C-alpha cells in the first residue's frame, strides 16, 4: 500500500470516528435534557392552575356520565312465575305505597324522594340526601 492510500484511509476513519463521537455527544445531551424536560412537564401538569385552582380540577369531572336509577321497590320471583308474566300482569314489590323511593348513582344510594308528575312526565322530588357518613355506616352493616 502506498503512503497516500494509507493516509486517506486514516483520514476517512478519523472523520468517521469524529462523526460517531459527535453523534454520541448529541444523544447524551438529549438524554441528559430529557429527564429535566419530563420533570418540567409533570410539574406543570401537577401545579395548581392560575386563578381557580380547585375549581378547575373539579370542572374536569363534571361531564363524566353516571347511571341514575330511581327504584320503586324490589321483589324475588321464581322463573316459573316470571315466565307466566303477560301484558297487564301485576308484580308486587316490597315497597309500600307512599314510601320514599331510592335514588341510586352507579348502584350507590345517594338520596330518597317521592314521585311527581310534571307536564305528563314522571319525576322525583328529592326529600332526603344521604350523607357520606350515612353511606359508610350502611356499608359497615
Where do the domains of the chain lie? 3-56, 65-139
CB 126 within 8 A of CB 68: no
CA distance 70 to 101: 7
Read off the pLDDT of residues 6-41 as tens digits, 9 standing for 90 and up.
Answer: 555 555 566 776 777 777 777 666 656 555 555 555
pLDDT for 89 equals 92
| CATH superfamily name and code, 65-139 | SpoA-like (2.30.330.10)
Read off the pLDDT of residues 47-81 as tens digits, 9 standing for 90 and up.
Answer: 555 555 566 777 888 889 999 999 888 899 999 99
Partnered with residue 116 across adjacent β-strands are: 123
57 CB contacts (<8 Å, ≥6 apart)?
Answer: 49
The sheet with strand 121-129 has its strands ordered as 68-71, 101-105, 108-118, 121-129
Amino acid at each position: 500500500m502506498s503512503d497516500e492510500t494509507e493516509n486517506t484511509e486514516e483520514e476517512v476513519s478519523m472523520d468517521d470516528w469524529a462523526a460517531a463521537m459527535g453523534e454520541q455527544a448529541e444523544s447524551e445531551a438529549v438524554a441528559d435534557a430529557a429527564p429535566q424536560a419530563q420533570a418540567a412537564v409533570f410539574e406543570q401538569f401537577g401545579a395548581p392552575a392560575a386563578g381557580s385552582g380547585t375549581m378547575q380540577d373539579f370542572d374536569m369531572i363534571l361531564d363524566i356520565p353516571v347511571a341514575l336509577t330511581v327504584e320503586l321497590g324490589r321483589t324475588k320471583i321464581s322463573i316459573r312465575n316470571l315466565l307466566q308474566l303477560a301484558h297487564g300482569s301485576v308484580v308486587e314489590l316490597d315497597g309500600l305505597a307512599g314510601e320514599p323511593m331510592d335514588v341510586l348513582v352507579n348502584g350507590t344510594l345517594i338520596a330518597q324522594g317521592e314521585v311527581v308528575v310534571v307536564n305528563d312526565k314522571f319525576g322525583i322530588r328529592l326529600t332526603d340526601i344521604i350523607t357520606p357518613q350515612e353511606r359508610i355506616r350502611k356499608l359497615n352493616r
